[in-house]
């Protein structure tokens, strides 16, 4: 009899491990294959080529009942670009593949591409190819971004050392709360189509969800300041989950200080309205597309003086896999991938 | 009132033109963007990086009721690799993104990757990344292939000149007839599940459909023989359609000799059984993943002596857009993208 193992028994990361274990690289110019934010390829004398790909599906990654196509176009580029930035690289080229049901008009696709082009202009990248195909239902979007990085500036997930300082760009938790508000308004609308959406004061978090920006500015600043991050990842799954990836790959632990977590005033406001803990949103929200990275202690002052939008949220320890949040009350709380538990 | 233009008014190629017209490249290292088989990027001293991406959707590009997942895995790599070869390049790296409904088990994904790995071994490329995501229904596959080519060996679609010789690798029409046979057996099975498939003598064409090979060997041979194709495209949409693309891009016409069209004995057999003209299958079938390319006349003897699987099917003329089939009876028949018409 045939064995059948359900996909959810493995989970996404289990599936990726299973795939990558069975596909070891053989080409000498494959510097890093599956397992980081982007693949690292040797193509030139002084630089590596970075390659990252994403597949985004209607009904899973986006809901067109409240997502303008122009924003969606911008967001899919952000998602792809963010993976290249997370290697400390500069994004350069983009391909977009579309699977389209006949529900979509040419004007709808024009809107999508208006967003894609706006993002290309913002990130200074070129749209260089793609594929268009009919789909039986819905919208499927394949996004591939190619970038480059000087060989001595590539930042993997596994380079962090104990005592390195944990840095986070921008603020977190907003995109998740924006999504919750949009879902709430959708339900209200479905129950009573005459109701108007109540989102005016929540523009910030809604924007964080619908049209997030990738942090090209941070990668450029690090370059200008001459600071080399020891490890880097982008915050797409949520700060807790992505921190745990970085710790696991670097075989270190982490302490994060609650009072240092960057949470926007508007995120607090939305959290209060939705009765969600802002700390939970910040740790587990996801889709913020901020950069989480580590630096050596001697680079701290340079970064403190030279940047305005970086928070120093904690430091790394020599205890692999042990990540803890130090609360304002001084308690230590284990950070786990989904939610968090009091340790003792 | 909002305008609504249906996608089928534009067609796939119209949509691609619309997208590319509005997205001119701005980076100096974008050598060629949208519009050829792959994007051409400047990344090193002596070589270009080639980038190509495909999106393949269940129910549109493949039918899992008769496609073994292992064959599908192999085929999606072939499809991606073929685009790199069509630039006269060498494929090197692959990413595969999966959108999966919970209908698929881990064992099913293992089968798919067994095919992907077999193709990676065959083409000597590395699987270096991807993305896995749940899907509401069906299987979505995003395939990106990166390759390289020496700057003086890149073959675009637009380099052909009048009097160049038109060359075609392997044979054509088989993949299309294989698909027709598989569809026929599926209908028989749906009407009477006790019937056994009648495909034993059609293994060749069925294999051409389910597990096609990309012609890495041809690109390698051209290199070894020192022959530089003046233009090149892969036969994915059908010989007629792809020839017309090459002619349009190169601003030339073509004459193709019916008696030179490479059609396999098993393709004739299947065509007879299905009452389909083998010439129609050869011209309009698609999915053969052979290479159609042009050479200067002085390279003809070298290729004739040095290769075994190349047919010289015709030559180019100075009449842009005029492509004709010269029949065995000496008649000239216009070649059009779908089907063909007697000219006078």
Confidence of residue A248 (pLDDT cuts 50, 70, 90): very high
CB nearest A97 (choices: B98, B104, B142): B142
User: A41 to chain B: nearest residue by CA?
Assistant: B93
Whole-prediction pTM? 0.92
- B138 and B13 housed in the same domain: yes
Q: Which long-range contacts (CB under 8 A, 24 or more apart) does B27-31 make?
A: B27/A92, B27/A93, B27/A124, B27/A125, B27/A126, B29/A92, B30/A93, B30/A126, B30/A128, B31/B154
**Separation CA A138–CA A49 (nearest Å):** 33
CATH number at residue A272: 3.90.650.10
**Separation CA A246–CA B134 (nearest Å):** 24
Residues A2-31: tens digit of each pLDDT: 678 887 777 777 777 777 776 677 788 888
- B142 and B229 housed in the same domain: no
Confidence of residue B307 (pLDDT cuts 50, 70, 90): very high
- A22 and A111 housed in the same domain: yes
Indicate yes or no: CB of A38 within 8 angstroms of CB of B106: no
Please compute the mean of the pLDDT values over residues A137-161 and round it to a whole number. 95
- pLDDT for A25 equals 78
Q: Is A63 exposed, middle or buried (0-12, 13-18, 19+ CB in 10 A)?
A: middle
- pLDDT for B297 equals 97
Please compute the mean of the pLDDT values over residues A74-84 and round it to a whole number. 97
Q: In which residue are the tokens 């080409």 written?
A: A27
- A225 and A193 housed in the same domain: yes
Please compute the mean of the pLDDT values over residues B244-256 and round it to a whole number. 96
Evaluate whether residue A158 is within a structural domain.
no
Evaluate whether residue A157 is within a structural domain.
no
- Give A166's strand partners: A294, A314
- B60 and B37 housed in the same domain: yes
- pLDDT for A83 equals 96
Q: Which of B282, B290, B236, B286 has the alpha carbon at shortest distance from B258?
A: B282
Evaluate whether residue A201 is within a structural domain.
yes
Residues A283-320: tens digit of each pLDDT: 999 999 999 999 999 999 999 999 999 999 999 999 99
Cα–Cα distances in angstroms (integers) from residue B8 to residues A27, A286, B240, B245, B309, in the given order? 42, 38, 21, 19, 38
Sign, CA torsion B226/B230/B235/B239 = negative
Strands (E), B39-153: 39-42, 47-57, 90-100, 126-134, 139-150
In A, which residues are within 8 Å of B95 by CB distance?
39, 51-53, 144
- pLDDT for B343 equals 38
- A180 and A303 housed in the same domain: yes
pLDDT of B134 strictly over 60: yes
CB nearest A106 (choices: B7, B98, B102): B7
pLDDT of B339 strictly over 80: no
Q: Minimal Cα–Cα distance from B266 to chain A, Å?
A: 31
CB nearest B106 (choices: A7, A93, A138): A7
Please compute the mean of the pLDDT values over residues B17-26 and round it to a whole number. 74
**Separation CA A316–CA A249 (nearest Å):** 13
pLDDT of B26 strictly over 90: no
Q: Is B180 left (phi over 0), alpha (psi -120 to 50) or beta?
A: alpha
A165 with A315: CB under 8 angstroms?
yes
Indicate yes or no: CB of B109 within 8 angstroms of CB of A25: no
Indicate yes or no: CB of B57 within 8 angstroms of CB of A135: yes
Residues comprising chain A, all counted = 344
Token readout for A184 is 């709430």
Q: What angle do CA B180, B183, B184 make, to 5 degrees?
A: 85
- pLDDT for A191 equals 87
- A330 and A264 housed in the same domain: yes
In B192-238, which residue ranges form alpha helices assigned H by DSSP? 203-210, 216-225
Evaluate whether residue A245 is within a structural domain.
yes
Residues B260-286: tens digit of each pLDDT: 999 999 999 999 999 999 999 999 999
CATH number at residue B142: 3.30.1330.10
Phi, psi angles (nearest 5°) of residue B229: -65, 145
In A, which residues are within 8 Å of B18 by CB distance?
106, 109-110
Q: How far is CA B334 from the centre of its chain?
A: 22
User: Where is the domain boundary, B126, B150, B174?
Assistant: B150
User: Where is the domain boundary, B106, B126, B150?
Assistant: B150
Q: Count of domains in chain A?
A: 2
Strands (E), B115-246: 126-134, 139-150, 165-169, 231-235
**Separation CA A240–CA A323 (nearest Å):** 9
Sign, CA torsion B61/B66/B69/B75 = negative
Evaluate whether residue B156 is within a structural domain.
no
In A, which residues are within 8 Å of B10 by CB distance?
106
CB nearest B142 (choices: A33, A38, A53): A53
User: A31 to chain B: nearest residue by CA?
Assistant: B128
- pLDDT for B290 equals 98
B228 with B302: CB under 8 angstroms?
no
In B, which residues are within 8 Å of A133 by CB distance?
12, 55-57, 60-61
Half-sphere exposure of A101 (CA within 13 A, CB side): 9
- pLDDT for B341 equals 40
CB nearest B29 (choices: A38, A54, A92): A92
- pLDDT for B10 equals 75
Confidence of residue B2 (pLDDT cuts 50, 70, 90): low
Confidence of residue B46 (pLDDT cuts 50, 70, 90): confident
CB nearest A30 (choices: B97, B126, B135): B126
> Going by C-beta distance under 8 Å and a sequence separation of 6 or more, which residues neighbour residue A114?
A70, A73
Indicate yes or no: CB of A107 within 8 angstroms of CB of B34: no
pLDDT of A277 strictly over 60: yes
Please compute the mean of the pLDDT values over residues A235-251 and round it to a whole number. 95
Confidence of residue A69 (pLDDT cuts 50, 70, 90): very high
**What does DSSP assign to residue A32?**
E
- pLDDT for B9 equals 79
Indicate yes or no: CB of B126 within 8 angstroms of CB of A59: no
In B, which residues are within 8 Å of A7 by CB distance?
100, 102, 104-106, 109
> Going by C-beta distance under 8 Å and a sequence separation of 6 or more, which residues neighbour residue B116?
A23, B73, B74, B76, B77, B94, B96, B127
Q: What is the ipTM of this complex?
A: 0.90
Half-sphere exposure of B322 (CA within 13 A, CB side): 9
Q: What is the mean pLDDT of chain A?
A: 91
B75 with B210: CB under 8 angstroms?
yes
Please compute the mean of the pLDDT values over residues B219-224 and round it to a whole number. 97
Evaluate whether residue A342 is within a structural domain.
no
Residues A180-207: tens digit of each pLDDT: 999 999 998 888 888 777 788 999 999 9
pLDDT of A340 strictly over 70: no
Indicate yes or no: CB of B45 within 8 angstroms of CB of A47: no
Strands (E), chain B: 30-32, 39-42, 47-57, 90-100, 126-134, 139-150, 165-169, 231-235, 253-257, 290-295, 310-317, 323-326, 332-335, 340-342
Indicate yes or no: CB of B106 within 8 angstroms of CB of A27: no
Q: Which of A179, A338, A16, A337 has the alpha carbon at shortest distance from B100?
A: A16
pLDDT of A280 strictly over 70: yes
**Separation CA A104–CA A258 (nearest Å):** 45
B148 with B197: CB under 8 angstroms?
no
CB nearest A126 (choices: B25, B95, B137): B25
Q: Domain of residue A85: give its range.
A: 7-150
Please compute the mean of the pLDDT values over residues B121-145 and round it to a whole number. 92
CB nearest B60 (choices: A60, A106, A133): A133
- A23 and A145 housed in the same domain: yes
- pLDDT for A2 equals 61
Evaluate whether residue B1 is within a structural domain.
no
In A, which residues are within 8 Å of B105 by CB distance?
4-7
Q: Minimal Cα–Cα distance from A300 to chain B, Å?
A: 33
B164 with B123: CB under 8 angstroms?
no
A96 with A143: CB under 8 angstroms?
yes
> Going by C-beta distance under 8 Å and a sequence separation of 6 or more, which residues neighbour residue B30?
A93, A126, A128, B39, B40, B41, B42
CB nearest A23 (choices: B7, B56, B127): B127
In A, which residues are within 8 Å of B234 by CB distance?
none
Crossing angle for the helix pair A265-274 and A203-210, to the nearest 10 degrees: 100
Q: Minimal Cα–Cα distance from B269 to chain A, Å?
A: 32
pLDDT of A1 strictly over 70: no
Indicate yes or no: CB of A15 within 8 angstroms of CB of B124: no
A292 with A234: CB under 8 angstroms?
yes
Tell me the DSSP string of A103-162.
T-BHHHHHHHHHHHHHHHHHHT-EEEEEEEEE-SSSEEEEEEEEEEEEGGG---TT---T
pLDDT of B342 strictly over 60: no
Please compute the mean of the pLDDT values over residues B192-209 and round it to a whole number. 88
Indicate yes or no: CB of B117 within 8 angstroms of CB of A41: no
Q: What is the mean pLDDT of chain B?
A: 91
In B, which residues are within 8 Å of A39 by CB distance?
93, 95, 128-129
pLDDT of B38 strictly over 60: yes
- B142 and B180 housed in the same domain: no
Confidence of residue B340 (pLDDT cuts 50, 70, 90): very low
In A195-336, which residue ranges form alpha helices assigned H by DSSP? 203-210, 216-225, 239-250, 265-274, 278-284, 300-306
pLDDT of B195 strictly over 50: yes
Q: Which one of A31, A92, A129, A130 would you mutate to disrupt binding with B, by most B Cβ within 10 Å of its Cβ? A: A129
Q: Minimal Cα–Cα distance from A257 to chain B, Å?
A: 32
User: Where is the domain boundary, A150, A178, A205?
Assistant: A150
Token readout for A200 is 């005016």
pLDDT of B19 strictly over 70: yes
Residues B53-105: tens digit of each pLDDT: 999 999 999 999 999 999 999 999 999 999 999 999 999 999 999 999 988 98
Evaluate whether residue B157 is within a structural domain.
no
In A, which residues are within 8 Å of B101 by CB distance?
none
- pLDDT for A137 equals 87
Confidence of residue B143 (pLDDT cuts 50, 70, 90): very high
- A214 and A305 housed in the same domain: yes
- B182 and B99 housed in the same domain: no
- pLDDT for B17 equals 77
pLDDT of A107 strictly over 70: yes
- A321 and A252 housed in the same domain: yes
């Amino acid at each position: 009899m045939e064995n059948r193992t359900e996909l959810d028994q493995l989970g996404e990361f289990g599936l990726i491990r299973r795939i990558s274990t069975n596909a070891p690289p053989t080409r000498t110019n494959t510097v890093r294959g599956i397992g980081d934010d982007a693949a690292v390829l040797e193509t030139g004398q002084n630089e590596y080529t970075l390659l990252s790909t994403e597949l985004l599906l209607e009904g899973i990654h986006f809901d067109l009942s409240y997502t303008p196509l122009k924003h969606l176009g911008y967001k899919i580029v952000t998602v792809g670009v963010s993976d290249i930035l997370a290697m400390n690289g500069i994004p350069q080229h983009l391909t977009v593949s579309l699977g389209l049901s006949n529900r979509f008009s040419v004007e709808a696709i024009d809107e999508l591409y208006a967003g894609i082009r706006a993002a290309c202009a913002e990130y200074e990248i070129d749209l260089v190819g793609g594929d268009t195909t009919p789909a039986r239902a819905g919208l499927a979007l394949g996004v591939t971004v190619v970038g480059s990085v000087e060989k001595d500036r590539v930042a993997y997930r596994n380079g962090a050392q104990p005592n390195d300082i944990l840095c986070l760009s921008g603020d977190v938790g907003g995109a998740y709360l924006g999504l919750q508000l949009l879902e709430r308004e959708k339900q209200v609308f479905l129950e009573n189509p005459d109701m108007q959406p109540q989102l005016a004061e929540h523009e910030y978090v809604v924007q964080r969800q619908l049209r997030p920006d990738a942090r090209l500015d941070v990668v450029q600043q690090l370059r200008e300041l001459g600071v080399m991050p020891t490890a880097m990842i982008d915050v797409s799954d949520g700060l807790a989950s992505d921190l745990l990836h970085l710790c696991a790959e670097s075989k270190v632990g982490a302490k994060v200080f609650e009072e240092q977590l960057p949470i926007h005033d508007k995120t607090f406001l939305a959290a209060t309205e939705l009765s969600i803990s802002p700390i939970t949103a910040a740790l587990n929200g996801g889709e913020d597309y901020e950069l989480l990275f580590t630096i050596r202690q001697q680079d701290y002052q340079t970064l403190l003086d030279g940047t305005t939008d970086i928070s120093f949220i904690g430091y790394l320890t020599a205890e692999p896999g042990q990540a803890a949040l130090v609360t304002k009350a001084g308690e230590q709380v284990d950070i786990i991938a989904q939610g968090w538990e009091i340790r003792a």
